[in-house]
Chain A
Amino acid sequence: AQSVTQLGSHVSVSEGALVLLRCNYSSSVPPYLFWYVQYPNQGLQLLLKYTSAATLVKGINGFEAEFKKSETSFHLTKPSAHMSDAAEYFCAVSDSGSSNTGKLIFGQGTTLQVKP
């Protein structure tokens, strides 16, 4: 079975500092990985996705993630945090172990706090 683990349920950074949100996956097949952001009382918005093309994936709002097979990781980074980045971030893997339904398996989420 596939799964993702997000290390750190809360991350706090200062405005302008590097953002690093960690995600590790477990999969017996090549994974398809996603990062979503959720602002309070809103739905999820796709930041970026890895679909086995380039290992460094660039997303919206200055975020990027690097797929590292040797480390089974897909960490999300942003060079300089902005106050508007404060939100909940979810890493997810597409469940390719079952039929082609596009089912997403989410990690537990990481709350990003940005301090002025």
Chain B
Amino acid sequence: DAMVIQNPRYQVTQFGKPVTLSCSQTLNHNVMYWYQQKSSQAPKLLFHYYDKDFNNEADTPDNFQSRRPNTSFCFLDIRSPGLGDAAMYLCATSRAGGYTDTQYFGPGTRLTVL
């Protein structure tokens, strides 16, 4: 089945230790999104890629970066995680990024910062 896969499902890191979260998709979609969802809150968009074009949200901290080496994979890098970065990180894809396009979400990676 075509799907969005996130690895790992659970990640524990130490304060200030860089961490990378992975997302892959078999849908061959052009757009990949990263959302941050803190406990009991709504998902919040961090950034997205339209093909190779990177689009950062204005309020995304500089601590967060992303890479998309090819259509299938996208990575979220947190350079120096703080306690406030503990959250569920959701990857999503859409075919063309249009206003009415459905976004398909992965299962998420829950990040714990010690």
**Which A residues form the contact surface with B (CB < 8 A)?**
32, 34, 36, 41-46, 49, 51, 90, 94, 96, 100-104, 106-109
Contact = CB atoms under 8 A, between A and B. Distances in A.
Q: Which of B48, B99, B106, B110 gathers the greatest number of chain A CB atoms within 10 Å?
A: B99
20 contacts: A41-B108, A42-B107, A43-B4, A43-B6, A43-B105, A43-B107, A43-B108, A44-B43, A46-B102, A46-B104, A51-B100, A100-B97, A100-B98, A102-B96, A102-B97, A102-B101, A104-B103, A106-B44, A107-B42, A108-B42
Q: Which of B9, B90, B100, B106 gathers the greatest number of chain A CB atoms within 10 Å?
A: B100
A51 B45 CA distance: 21
B10 to A, nearest CB: 9
Contact of B97 (A44, A45, A46, A101): A101
Give the interface size bracket for B toward A.
20 to 34
B64 interface: no
* Secondary structure dominating the interface of A: loop
Nearest to B94: A102
B98 A102 contact: yes
Given A49-B100, A102-B99, 17 more contacts: A41-B110, A42-B107, A43-B90, A43-B105, A43-B107, A43-B108, A44-B43, A44-B90, A46-B102, A90-B43, A101-B31, A102-B31, A102-B98, A103-B48, A104-B45, A108-B42, A109-B42
